[in-house]
Every structure is written in structure tokens, then in C-alpha cells.
Structure 1
Amino acid sequence: MRAVRPQGAKAFFRMLRELPARRPGRRARRGKGGLLARLAGRSVAPPHHRLVRQVFFRALGGIYLIAFSSLGRQVRGLYGSRGILPVKDLTSSPRMTAMGHERYLWYPSLWWLDASDKTLVRGVRAGQVLSLAVMAGVAPQASLTALWALYLSYVSVGREFLSFQWDALLLEMGLLGLLTAPAGLRPGAGRYEPSAAQVALWRALVFRLYLGSGVSKLKSGDETWRKLTACDYYYETAPLPTRGGWYAHHLPPQVQRFSTAAVLALETVAPFLVFAPRRLRLLGFWLFSGLQGVIIATGNYGFFNVQSLVLGLWLLDDTSLRRLLPAPPPARPRPWWRTLGAWLPAAPFLVLGANEILARFHRPRGVPRWLEWLEMRARPLRAVNPYGLFAVMTVRRPELAIEGSDDGETWHEYTFRYKVSDPERPPRQVAPHQPRLDWQMWFAALGSPPVWLLAFLLRLLEGSPEVLKLLAINPFPEHPPRYIRATLYDYRMTDRETHRRTGAWWNRERLGLYLPPLSLASGGTASRLQWHAGE
């Protein structure tokens, strides 16, 4: 029986495999260079990323669903007409009116048209529906465009409560997504293979995300990173710690030093694996995934860690996923004009991203005008953002307790849903939900009172139902208190023996008043709060 000869690409790659020039490489793998050769891989076939793209965009839809669902639980209390920072007050403020049409450029938002409570809630519901569409693979490009516009609308007018790095990262991922997602109603894996430009965009974002975090730690001059003691404080001072963080805080000092050094290595050396050959790139994927897994176990950072894990999918190729997913139909040949069309929008992002990383090391005095113009136009869209969490490690844990009183003598504490308060309440696993008030309370305790905190206290004095829903326990269910104040405490995690004996997770020490007693003056606005002396 006559053997069937391989045809086409299979024959070509088999020919390359049998070339004499490749045989010394095979022998070398058995020698000193064997490990490096195995890490680099030996495949000469071009990588494919259609499965990666399909899985990534469905996961991105899941991230949007988490983000909108989390925001939906808080949107009235944060931004409604009786919330802490009403969007309607911002859009109708004299400062915004004085900006004229430029306000639409610098604060792009749909809520200029209508910022009513119903509209803000409907925006969240629309975001949830569109997220489900992306997860189901329905019109991904159109759905991602609408999702990006909706989330940008909230972030542009969200001020402190929507100023987290994962909000900026979601907008950057969303903008790249609408540029690289396949078109059509049900495109599946897409008719065409993702172009090199599209893959480069996503990998460049992975590189910037991790390297930016590492460089910010080294450039900050913080002693805890320089002396490898950052992990001695990290778990105890995390904004919303977990039980895993409590146990990690009691690891031996040698483990803490190693952990700190490992974080620095993962964020300054490992990012270069993003551009390495396939097997080294896979190593980077697993290193980054392991880092995110540890962070999830020891702290609550909203949907940031899920974002980072999903973004890491672009370090894979379809070969990595074919054991889990069926291969898609063969891709069509990409026309030259589609390749050119992919590079044109990618170029500004790559230039701005490279400039953002280089600026961390050296910012030249004479920046080209075209680059300044590009940066200025990209900034309101959150198109390219700097990343770098915990550049300076917090070494103490001040916490605010909000207390109300009817007579100015007896005070009762409000209980937050998630932030550290009762020493006997165990830390909770909150992520991927993002409790934005609880997070901002941690920041407020580190400095002087922000404006939003006074607005929050005002709403408590008014007894705003929308704001009270953001809390776990309201000690004044019948009527609002007459007075309200903020007390500053210092928290420390208990040691194992104290925890075993008392069940307490925290020791806390009262440091004094952060804000003196306040009461409502006539008018009931933040500028008419009445201050009282007291301790």
C-alpha cells in the first residue's frame, strides 16, 4: 500500500524539522544548553491566538459584569440625589458651567444629559445586560464599545470613589477591547487571526502593569522595599485584609524577607518574559498568576486581581488551550489592508505606553508637541494609564470610627460592612466586590479630612436611607443623631496566643478625635455643618 505524503504546511514544517542544520540543536539540548533550549521551545510554526482572544473577551465581559454589579449596590448611596457625592450637583455646578463645551471633552459622560437616580441605576442595569452579551459572544465589538462608554461615564464624574487603579485598567482594557474584538453578531473565534499589532497591544499592557508596579516601588525610595521589610507590614495594613492575611502576618521574618524580594523580582525582572519565546512566556504567565493568587488570599482589591489574571491570557497561545477547548474552524487569510488597519490604531497606544514607562526613569524637558497633544487627548479617555500599587508601604494602621450621639455625652458607633472596626470580627473575603466607601475610609484615616467625608457625615445627620444602606448597622434606627464625630484608632493584629485566648483578631488603641462633634445648621448643606468643641 502506497504511503500518503504530507501536503501543504504540514510537509513544509516536517521538512524544516528534518533539515540537517537543526540536528546539532537537538544534540545541544542534551548538553549544557539543553535547559535554555527547552525553555525557549523549538516550534517554528507561527502561533495562533483566536482561542485566546475568544476566551479573553468572554472573561472581560465577566469583569464588566462584576464591576457594574458591584457599583449597582452602591450607586444611589454614592452618587444619587441623596448620596455622598451627587452626580447632579457636579454636572450643574458653576465650575462646570463656566467650562462651557470643554466640560464634555475633559469629563466625557452620558450623565450630562440626565443625572437622575433612575438614570444612574438604569445605566448599571444596561451595563449588566451588555456584559452578559459579551460573555455569550453576542456582538462583542458593539457591546464592548457601549460598555466602555457607560463605565467611562461613571468614572469621569465619580471623583474619589471611582479613582482606583482597577477602574482605570478596566477602561484601558475596554478601549483596547473594542479596537481588537471581532466584528459581527456571533463571530465566535473570529474569521481572521488576531494581527501581530493586536497581540502586541495586549502584551505591552501586561508589561506596563507589572513593570510599572515594580519601578514605582524602587523609585519611591521607601525604606521597607529597600530593606526587604515591606511584607512585615503589608498584611496588617492592607485596606481590607482577609483571614489569610492575618495568618500570613505571623510567618517567620525570613519568609517575609523572601516574599518581599520575590515581589520585587516578579515586578521588575519577570515582566520582560512577556516578550520572550513561548516557553519563557508561559513561565511568566504562571509566575504572574501565582502572584495574583497570593494577593487574592491575603487582601481584598476589588476586581483588580481578576483583571490581572485575565489579562495574562495574552501570554498564552491557542496551543495552550486546545486541551481544554475545541479548535476553531480554520482562519481566513488576512488581507493586507486589515493588517495595516490594525497597526494604525495600535501605534498611538504603543507610543504612549512606551512613553509612560520611559518617563518613570527620565522625563526629558523638551517633549515633542505632537506627543503632548496625544497625551492630552488620551487622558480624559483613560486610554493609557500609569500603574503602581503600594509604592510606599504604610507601616501603621489608623482607622476611623464614626460615632453618633443624641446628647453629646453617650456615643454609639456606626458599623461598616467590610472595613476593620470591631476587634473580634474576623476579616472577610470581599473581592471581587469593591466596597468603595469602606476603601476610602482607609485612605481618609491616613491624612486630613477630605471633603467627601464631611458630605458623608452630613448625610448621616440627615438620615439618608441611600447612604445608610452602605453600612452594616445603623445605631439610630428611629431617628438620625443630633451630633456626629470621627474618632481615630490605631489597630494591630493580635498574636496567635491572644487570638486563641480571646478570639480577637485586632488590638486597638484610641488616639483621639479625628473630627470634633458636628451637627446640622440651618440649610442642611455641607458648608453649613456646625462644629462643636469636645473630646
Structure 2
Amino acid sequence: MESIIARLKPLLDYDDRYQIISWLFLRLLALIYLSAFASLASQITGLVGSQGILPLDNHFALAQQHLGDQAWLRFPSIFWLTGTDDGLLQSAALLGILLSLMLLIGRWQRSVLILLFLLYLSLYHAGQVFMNFQWDTLLLEAGFLSIFLVGGANPLLIFLFDWLLFRLRFMSGLFKLFSNDPSWSGFTALNYYFETQPLPHIGAWYAHQLPDLLLKAGVGLTLFSELIVPFFIFLPRKFRLAAAGITILMQLLIIATSNHNFINFLTIALCLFLLDDKLIKSIVPARLVTNIKSTHNSVGSIRSFMIILCFIAIPTSSLISFSAKLWDHSVIKQSLPLAETVQHFGIGHLYHIFPTMQTERHELIIQGSNDGRAWRSYQFNYKPDDATDRLRFNLPHQPRLDWMLWFVPTQHPVQIYWFDQFMRQVKAGSPSVTSLLARNPYPDTPPKYLRVLVYRYSFTNSEEKADTGHWWKTEFLGEFPHLSPRSP
């Protein structure tokens, strides 16, 4: 190990160009962790608690039944040791909030970062389908790499942060091309995106009204920023600065038109590593610069070895998985279990944001009745329920039940399974589950009957909005699941 570190010493030595950058990134990461744990604290028991939609104890029992002693390796989590009690799930999220605040003020940073990573990894696996999102794995890998950022950045670690940002951006663009989706190849994706995204806010309605030429230009800018700009990351300084500027601009445009929780803020934070202290000193107050004390240490053998191990494992895992998506080759298939093992620990994942574009918005309206004639609707916090509902901001919070309902009209077996479990808990009147709703029309006794109606929702135009005051036009399609699945 010592000889390997000695040969790679120039890449492991402290790089003083990133002292302020590293300090700022850790503070931004603390805020993102804070928002992620706070969001989960209000939902976790309703999603996977003992009376939740997908109880964690059932999940672990099935994992042990099928995987035996390997279950913990497939779903690494502290809950294997502590148990799956609702109080423990809630406590893990609350502890994450506390640790995020400690990171924000710079106390015991490395120990805190290790605990934050372990807690979020545990909740990631506990959350099952409700945590199966690319922003969750993006936060896990950024959080894991940040453990080694304490003590000072070095070229190898900066490369790993750059590789994470590159994968997020370039893979998302490439999968758009390989999906053969006509809305991307025909430059019409933004004609649908603002209207059909999972949880649009008011900015999406206004963006949808833009002229067709501007929407097509927006598709072109998206593809340019995802297919060309990511390569600037590995070029000289002026290209890196351009990559940061364009990527940050794209994230701000997305924030202005979409509710995508914390992913855009985390992407902006990752762009910091494309800058350097020389530039940051000209932007941030001089007093802040002088208050940031050097925290770098001499190269430690364990820390250096771990960074080298990450340098091998993360690119290898992500490249194997990426290759498997593109080519059907026996060697690649044989390597997939190794890549998947790495990914179970939250690192080395693929990214493919919106590879296909939905062209219709199908909304589920859940209703209850005691006589089969008079029906009352359950209301959700953020997803559209009524044509007059104001489009709300939920950034950086992710209401995971509201979000997941967007997938159900595809009628994919995974979506049907969790949705059936959700309906059973609503029928049983589970307080944990109904607490995830904005309005439960049967707060005392659950109704005898439930039904799910499906409507096509589309934005009104400016004239229709002025005449009716409605944000949406609705068209009844039928009763779920007795209608054709939404595609894609």
C-alpha cells in the first residue's frame, strides 16, 4: 500500500486551489442533507413504517428469505442491527437533521459525514421504491466522497467529484438519444415536459405558454448542455469555467420551471469543483475568505488508500453498468454483479434524467363512499387534484407519495404492487398513511368502498385561464386500472 501511495503522491498531495471551494461545498452539502432528512422525517413512517405502505420489516423478511445471509450486503442498513421500529426510523431522520446542522457549523466534520452517509444509505434501502431515485444516489456518492474532502482536496479527489458531475450530465443526454424517443429527436420534448412532469409548479404553466420556437431552442440547449458541455469538465480552466456557467444556468432554469427537490441544488454545488479559489475570492466577501482557516493535513496512508480505492471502484462500476446498457457482451454481463455490489453501497450509479418524455398527463383521483352513490375525494399535498388547484412550489422537499403516483398510470407491476398496498392502508384507515394526505374525507371511520378515476390533465392557455381561473383542463378517461396504460 505504501508503494502505491508513493507513486501516486503527486495526485494525492493537498491542492491549495480548492481550500475555499471545499469549505463552501461542505456547507452546501450540509444544507442539502438537512433538506433531505427533514423531508424524510415527515414521511418515513407513512411510507415504510409498521402501518405504512411498504413496511420495512416485511421487506427485510423477504430479503432474508430469498438472499439468506447476503441480504445485508444487498440492502446495507443500520436497521438490520437496530430493528425496524417506527421510532427508530423517525429517529434516524431526526438524527440526520442534527448532524446536518453540525456539519453546517463545521463540528467534527469527518465523523459527522460518515454518520450522515450511513444514515442516508440506511434510509435509502429502507425506503424501497420510494427512495429509488437518482437524486438519492447522487447525494449518497457526493456525501461519501466528501468524507475524504475533510483534510483538504487533492487532484484525485477532485477528479472523482468531476466524474460524478460528468456522469450525471452526459449519461442523461446520451440516454435521451439512445431511447429513440421522437420528442427528443424531433425537438418537441419541451412542448410536453412542463405539463407532464411529476409535480409542476406555477413556473411550469408560464413556460408552457412560450412560443414553439423558444421551446425547440430549449431542447437544443438541453442536449448541448448534456452531450457537449460535460467534456469541458476535463479540459483547461476556461472550459471548466464555461461548463460550470452553462450547467448552473440550466439548473436555475429547471428550478424556475420544475419541482425537482434538491437535485438541482446539489448539481450546482458540484459545479464548485469546476471553479477554483482564485475566482471564488473575487465573488465571496473578503471577511469570509479570511475566516476560512486551512484544515489540510499531511497525506495519511489510510485516507489516501481509500481515495485510490474509490478511484478504481467508482469509475469501474459506473462504466460496467453503462456498457451493459449499450452492448450485449458476455464479459460485461459477467462483470455486472461486481458493479451492482458497489452500487448497493450508494456509489458508482448510472444517471438518465428524463430519457423519454410523457406526452399525456394522467391523474388518479381517489374517492371513497359508504353507499356507492355519494363519493368524496382524497386530496394530496402537491399533485394536481382539481382544475382550480394552484400549482405549488415544494422545493427542496420531495413529497414521495405524490411523486410516485405519477408513475402508477404506466401500470408497471412494481407500481401496481405498491399502489395496491397504499389503497389497502387507506381502506384500513392507517393514520400513518393518511397523514401523508392533505385531506382525508373520512377521518373517523374509513369508507366501505374506494375507487380510482383517471383523468387526462392539460394546461389551460392564457385566454382559458383568464376566462375560467383554471390552471388545468380535464377529461375523464375511465376507472383505474380498467383502461390502457399510459405510454411511456
- After TM superposition, the score normalised by the length of structure 1 is 0.82
Preserved contact between residue 140 and residue 181 of structure 1 (Cα < 8 Å): no
Instruction: Tell me the alpha carbon deviations over residues 157-210 of structure 1, each in whole angstroms, 9 at most, x when there is no partner.
Output: 3221111111111111122222x232xxxxxxx4xx421101110011111110
CA distance in 2, matches of 1:141, 1:173: 14
Which amino acid in 1 is paired with 2:449? Y
CA distance in 1, matches of 2:304, 2:426: 57
Corresponding residue for residue 397 of structure 1: 361
Q: 1:96 aligns with which of 50, 64, 78?
A: 64
Corresponding residue for residue 154 of structure 1: 123
CA distance in 1, matches of 2:294, 2:80: 46
Q: 1:433 aligns with which of 392, 397, 404?
A: 397
Corresponding residue for residue 352 of structure 1: 317
How far is 1:152 from its partner? 1.1
Preserved contact between residue 207 and residue 272 of structure 1 (Cα < 8 Å): yes
Which amino acid in 1 is paired with 2:112? S
How far is 1:436 from its partner? 0.3
Count of matched residue positions in the alignment of Structure 1 and Structure 2: 459
Q: 1:326 aligns with which of 265, 274, 289?
A: 289
Q: 2:139 aligns with which of 165, 170, 191?
A: 170
Report % sequence identity: 35
Corresponding residue for residue 388 of structure 2: 424
Runs of 5+ in structure 1 lacking a partner?
1-45, 183-189, 517-535
CA distance in 2, matches of 1:70, 1:293: 21
SS at match of 2:127: helix
How far is 1:421 from its partner? 1.1
Corresponding residue for residue 58 of structure 1: 27
Structure number with bigger Rg: 1
Higher helix residue share: 2
CA distance in 1, matches of 2:244, 2:49: 41
Which amino acid in 2 is paired with 1:100? G
How far is 1:363 from its partner? 5.5
Preserved contact between residue 398 and residue 446 of structure 1 (Cα < 8 Å): no
Which amino acid in 1 is paired with 2:434? L
How far is 1:340 from its partner? 5.4
Instruction: Tell me the alpha carbon deviations over residues 317-375 of structure 1, each in whole angstroms, 9 at most, x when there is no partner.
Output: 11121131415556878559689534343232233344445555545432396x54641
Instruction: Tell me the alpha carbon deviations over residues 37-57 of structure 1, each in whole angstroms, 9 at most, x when there is no partner.
Output: xxxxxxxxx871111111111
Runs of 5+ in structure 2 lacking a partner?
1-14, 483-488
1:491 aligns with 2:457: yes
Distance change >3 Å, CA 224–CA 195, structure 1 → 2 = same
SS at match of 2:332: coil
Preserved contact between residue 77 and residue 84 of structure 1 (Cα < 8 Å): yes
Which amino acid in 1 is paired with 2:267? S
Preserved contact between residue 204 and residue 353 of structure 1 (Cα < 8 Å): no
Corresponding residue for residue 88 of structure 2: 119
Instruction: Tell me the alpha carbon deviations over residues 409-457 of structure 1, each in whole angstroms, 9 at most, x when there is no partner.
Output: 1111111110011100111111110000000111102325611111111
1:444 aligns with 2:408: yes
Corresponding residue for residue 14 of structure 1: none
Corresponding residue for residue 276 of structure 1: 235
Runs of 4+ in structure 1 deviating by more than 6 angstroms, as ranges, are 330-333
Which amino acid in 1 is paired with 2:92? G
How far is 1:478 from its partner? 3.0
- Greater CA deviation, 451-460 or 244-253? 451-460
Preserved contact between residue 317 and residue 340 of structure 2 (Cα < 8 Å): no
Distance change >3 Å, CA 354–CA 367, structure 1 → 2 = closer
CA distance in 1, matches of 2:301, 2:80: 38
Preserved contact between residue 120 and residue 140 of structure 2 (Cα < 8 Å): yes
CA distance in 2, matches of 1:368, 1:458: 39
How far is 1:499 from its partner? 0.3
Preserved contact between residue 59 and residue 310 of structure 1 (Cα < 8 Å): yes
Preserved contact between residue 404 and residue 484 of structure 1 (Cα < 8 Å): yes
Matches within 5 A, 1:47-446: 48-93=17-62, 96-113=64-81, 114-178=83-147, 180-182=148-150, 190=151, 193-323=152-282, 324=284, 325-327=288-290, 328=292, 334-335=298-299, 341=305, 342-359=307-324, 361-362=326-327, 364-367=329-332, 371-372=335-336, 374-446=338-410
Which amino acid in 1 is paired with 2:454? L
Corresponding residue for residue 426 of structure 2: 460
- After TM superposition, the score normalised by the length of structure 2 is 0.89
How far is 1:155 from its partner? 1.4
Preserved contact between residue 324 and residue 333 of structure 2 (Cα < 8 Å): no
1:512 aligns with 2:478: yes
SS at match of 2:339: helix
- Greater CA deviation, 113-122 or 83-92? 83-92
CA distance in 2, matches of 1:75, 1:48: 40
Which amino acid in 2 is paired with 1:226? S
Preserved contact between residue 313 and residue 342 of structure 2 (Cα < 8 Å): no
